[in-house]
Structures are given as structure tokens and as C-alpha cells.
Amino acid sequence: MTAPTGWIPVALSSEIEAGASAGAVVDGREVVVWRDTSGVAHAWEDRCPHRGMRMSFGFVRGDHIACLYHGWQYDTAGQCRYIPAHPDLDVPQTIKVPTYATKEANGIIWSTLSDAVADEATPGETAEVTPLRSLYVDCPAAFIRETLESASMPGFTEPEGETIFAAVADSVWTLTTGEDRLYIGVQPVNPSQTALHVVIAGPQATYAGAGQAHFSTWLETLRRSLEDGAPEEATSAPMTTAEVA
Amino acid sequence: MSAIMLYDYELDEHCYRVRLLLTMLGLEWEPHAIDMVPGEEEKQPHMLALNPLGRLPVLKDGDLVLHGTEALLTYIAKTYDGAKTWLPDDNADFGRVMMWLNFSCSVLGAASQARLQSLFGTTGVDAPLKEASRNAFRIMDDHMTKRGYENGLWFVGDHVTLADLALFPAFALSRDYGVDHDEFPALRRWIRRFRNLEKFTTMPGIPDYH
């Protein structure tokens, strides 16, 4: 599997509230996704330079995120600003967490996992979205894609109808039945696990409540059948470097 | 006459559930520290006289002696929560709360065992226990995801209940035995909400954000 490039989805926007942080893993790389209290989302390397603690275990205070271990605080540029054990210290510029280019589009938080902004736009921009959910599946992305290519998803506005799968990009798939369309951001976690960040491409007036429950239930069923049918190697632990060699 | 007495071990998540409820209700109680690790005091004759199962927590309220976390929680709520917040009066909501209490003391037992292995064992956590805990959290996350679609903030009804209180520790402590929170976005939002409740109190392993 090649490492994804361009904009990678790391969370649903609605899942990261202001002042909250969460961990995400993209191809084995640990990322902290957090939102400052002014509402701006950030994605960084999930590692405090002090003792290597995951920043996603920490907590957000205003526009700073603080490490759980010793409370070192970093500003939105990843620069350490405050060390509680040395309150009067002017913190050296070298104490910095690598930050990644981050943006929000289609109800999803995206990152390039580098400081470079991707050239291309987020694939398949859609006007109105209704958040659905993130679905974590113990299957490789390729196997999920294969299954979705022939999946039949009952519609909400019209139950009957053919389901059409489209891969807008490596990291974006859509599933359409009649008027209803799911927009799926694909985050490969490791060779055997994938996160799907799913929104409904349509107005909340139509889908909020019953429509969301309809597709969420279908996704739960999908996860069950994917994991039951996953190829043998897909359900085992990720391969180590030694096994690959 | 006497205050409520809780036979307690600070690091035990079941004892924490009871301390949490007593604190949230603003009740006075007398903690009686039991040396569970390494002393196994809960299995000594004087404790077996109170609970023949040799487990904590044990509650004494006057002449009444109770064991079994869910029994303690429901007794305390029924006796001391006049507002009937924690154990709702409504029949359907009462049933739902009891369903999640049952979930907490059956399915989530795997999580509590995994944590004990991780903290006090020498051979690490058994993979099946970890897997069973993860499956339980998935069921909880699916439930809270759907609750979100109907603007529900809590496991049952329109306010916090014993269901939330009983389920909270296992998930909040899951990093103790290597189950991350990444995969459970609805539970992450729910524990943030729970932590922000007035009178919320922590235990070792649940950080007190400073």
C-alpha cells in the first residue's frame, strides 16, 4: 500500500468540539486533531517534544494545547509558550511540535500530514452536508472499496433504486442511491484498519434525525459484514518490518 | 445515628463509581480504606463477614450491609436522591437505566479485568479481554451516535442518570489497558460532558485537568 498524499481526512468536523482534542492514526503515523476555543481546527504530530507523551491525551486551554504529563503549553503554531515547572522561563524557539496543513471542507477535517498545503482542492466539494459518523473498520481500505463497489444501500428519500459507487479520489468515495448520496472520507489507519468519515451530501432539513439514523444503521450492518468477510490477513495484526522483509 | 460507611480501595473502579455518586449527591460518608493490593484484605475473615464474595465495594448504612456495585448505586439513589435524577421514576427510562447497569456489570466486566491485569499483573493484558472491552465500547459508541441524532446528550432520557455514571469509569480508564479513545468519537464527547458536571470528582488514572 502506498502512503496517501494530498488531503487526508482525519475526523468529522462535528466530532471535534471547540476546546477538544483527539488522536488519529494515518498509515501508522500518530496525529493529534484539536480545535482551539475560537473554533479553528489543527492537526499536528501527536508527540510532546519533552517526554514523547501523546498530545491527544492533553487538554486545550484557549488557543493553547497542553501536554498531560507536565503541562507544557503550545500555541497554534506548535511553539511551546509555557512550562509550568519554570514559569518565568522565556521558552526557547526550538521547543516546537511539527504542525501540519489543515483545513475543513464538506463537514470533515483534512490534513496533508506535512507543513505543505496540497495543490489540489478537496475532491468532490459539495454544497450542503449533514454530518453522519466516523466508522472504524478492521479491514484494509482496498477490501472495503471492493465491497462497496457492489453494495446495495437502501435510500432514505426513496428506498428502492440502484446504488452507484464512485471513487472521486483515493481518499474520497461516494455512494448514491436515488437522491441520497453519502460522501466518504477514507483514512487508512494501518494495513488492517480503516476509518471512514461519512457525511450525507444533502441538507439537514431533509436528513437530520431519521435520515441520519437510517444511514448509521446501514453502516453498522456494513461494518459487521465487512469484518465477517475480511480476508484472513486483513484481520490479523499489522505486519512488522521484519515480516515484510 | 451513624454516617454511611464505604469499604473502599482508591484504585478500584467499582469503589470509584460509588464515591462518585455519593459525591454528586453531596452526601457525607466515612471511607474505610481496604488494602486490596497487595494485601487482599477484602478476602480476610473480617471482610468476608460483610461480603462472603470477598469483593469491594461494601456499603454500611446503619444496620444495612450491601455489596455489589449496582445494588449500592441503586440503593443510594433510591434512598438519598429525592429529585429522582439518577434513577428515573418513568417506567421506560427506569428500564433503560437498569439495562445499562446490567451492561456495566456484565459485558464491561472484561474492561475491569483488563485494567486489573494491566495495573497489577505481570504478564500483560489478555488479548480477548482487550477485544471484548473494545466491542463493548463500540456498542456504547453506536448508541451515543444515535442518541446524537435525536439531540440526546446522555445514555437515557434528557439528563444524566446512573447509566452514565456506571458506564463512565470503564471508558475513561481504558488507556490504562491500552484501548485508545480514537475510535469512539461519540463517547469522547460524552465523557467530556460528564467530566463537566458539577461536583464531578476524579480517581487515579482519570486526569484532573489543571
Can you give chain A as a three-state secondary structure string?
CCCCCCCEEEEEHHHCCCCCEEEEEECCEEEEEEECCCCCEEEEECCCCCCCCCHHHCEEECCEEECCCCCCEECCCCEEEECCCCCCCCCCCCCECCEECEEEECCEEEECCCCCCCCCCCCCCCCCCEEEEEEEECCCHHHHHHHHHCCCCCCCCCCCCCEEEEEEECCEEEEEECCEEEEEEEEEEECCEEEEEEEECCCHHHHCCHHHHHHHHHHHHHHHHHHHHCCHHHHCCCCCHHHHC
What digits encode the pLDDT tens for the residues B138-165?
999 999 999 999 999 999 999 999 999 9
Q: Which of A47, A76, A111 is the last residue of a domain?
A: A111
Pair B101, B188 in one domain: yes
Q: What are the cell numbers at A59? A: 487538554
Residue A230 is predicted with a pLDDT of: 73
Pair B100, B158 in one domain: yes
Contacts of A212 in chain B (CB under 8 A): 149
Residue B2 is predicted with a pLDDT of: 60
Expressed as residue numbers, the domain containing B133 is: 91-195
Mean pLDDT over each residue of chain A, to the nearest integer:
90
pLDDT at A236 over 70: no
Residue with cell 434513577: B87
Confidence of residue A233 (pLDDT cuts 50, 70, 90): low
Residue A38 lies in a domain: yes
Q: Do A195 and B210 touch (CB under 8 A)?
A: no
Pair B137, B113 in one domain: yes
Pair A227, A199 in one domain: yes
For residue B130, which of B112, B148, B142, B156 has the smallest C-alpha distance? B112
Answer whether B62 touches A (CB < 8 Å). no
Residue A206 is predicted with a pLDDT of: 97
DSSP character at residue B154: S
Pair A164, A105 in one domain: no
Residue B206 lies in a domain: no
Pair A105, A28 in one domain: yes
Residue A245 is predicted with a pLDDT of: 35
Q: Do B210 and A71 touch (CB under 8 A)?
A: yes
Residue A216 lies in a domain: yes
Q: Do A11 and B185 touch (CB under 8 A)?
A: yes
Cis peptide before B88 (omega within 30 of 0): no
Q: What is the CATH number of the domain that holds B35?
A: 3.40.30.10
Pair B101, B191 in one domain: yes
Q: Do B185 and A133 touch (CB under 8 A)?
A: yes
- B32 close to B7: Cβ distance less than 8 angstroms: yes
Residue A122 lies in a domain: no
pLDDT at A107 over 90: yes
Distances (CA, A) of B152 to A212, B145, B159: 14, 9, 9
Residue A244 lies in a domain: no
Residue A238 is predicted with a pLDDT of: 45
Contacts of B142 in chain A (CB under 8 A): 216, 220
**Window 29-58 of A, Cβ < 8 Å to B:** 56-57
Determine the residue among B149, B150, B193 to mutate to test chain A binding: the one whose Cβ has the most chain A Cβ atoms within 10 Å: B149
- B9 close to B34: Cβ distance less than 8 angstroms: yes
Q: Do B149 and A208 touch (CB under 8 A)?
A: yes
N-to-C CA span, chain A: 15
Measured between CA atoms, the residue of chain A closest to residue B134 is: A136
Calculate how close chain B gets to A74, using CA atoms only, in Å: 15
Expressed as residue numbers, the domain containing A208 is: 130-234
Contacts of B210 in chain A (CB under 8 A): 71
Pair A24, A69 in one domain: yes
- Give the amino acid at A236: S
- Give the amino acid at A91: V
Q: What are the cell numbers at B155? A: 445514555
What digits encode the pLDDT tens for the residues A209-226?
999 999 999 999 999 999
What digits encode the pLDDT tens for the residues A15-58?
999 999 999 999 999 999 999 999 999 999 999 998 889 999 98
Q: How far, in Å, CA of B34 to CA of B72, rounded? A: 17
Pair B187, B109 in one domain: yes
Residue with cell 455512494: A175
Answer whether B127 touches A (CB < 8 Å). no
Rg (CA), chain A: 20
Q: Which of B23, B45, B80 is the last residue of a domain?
A: B80
Measured between CA atoms, the residue of chain A closest to residue B186 is: A15
Q: What are the cell numbers at A185? A: 472520507
What is the H or E stretch that residue B58 is in?
strand B58-61
Residue B19 is predicted with a pLDDT of: 97
Residue A123 is predicted with a pLDDT of: 79
What digits encode the pLDDT tens for the residues B177-191?
999 999 999 999 999
Pair A90, A174 in one domain: no
Cis peptide before B38 (omega within 30 of 0): yes
Instruction: Order the strands of the A108-111 sheet from edge to edge.
Output: A8-12, A108-111, A102-105
Q: Do A57 and B175 touch (CB under 8 A)?
A: yes
Structural domains in chain B (count):
2
Pair A230, A134 in one domain: yes
Contacts of B192 in chain A (CB under 8 A): 17, 20
Q: What is the CATH number of the domain that holds B153?
A: 1.20.1050.10
pLDDT at A174 over 70: yes
Pair A143, A104 in one domain: no
Structural domains in chain A (count):
2
Answer whether A206 touches B (CB < 8 Å). no
pLDDT at B17 over 60: yes
Confidence of residue A162 (pLDDT cuts 50, 70, 90): very high
- In this prediction the pTM is 0.92
Residue A237 is predicted with a pLDDT of: 46
Residue A73 lies in a domain: yes
ipTM of the shown complex: 0.92
Residue B1 is predicted with a pLDDT of: 45
Pair B105, B186 in one domain: yes
Q: What is the CATH number of the domain that holds A106?
A: 2.102.10.10
Across the range B24-51, mean pLDDT stands at 95
Determine the residue among B147, B183, B202 to mutate to test chain A binding: the one whose Cβ has the most chain A Cβ atoms within 10 Å: B183
Residue B163 is predicted with a pLDDT of: 98
Residue A116 is predicted with a pLDDT of: 85
Q: How far, in Å, CA of B181 to CA of B185, rounded? A: 7
Q: What are the cell numbers at A221? A: 450492518
Q: Do B188 and A20 touch (CB under 8 A)?
A: yes
What is the H or E stretch that residue B104 is in?
helix B91-105
Q: What is the CATH number of the domain that holds A206?
A: 3.30.530.20
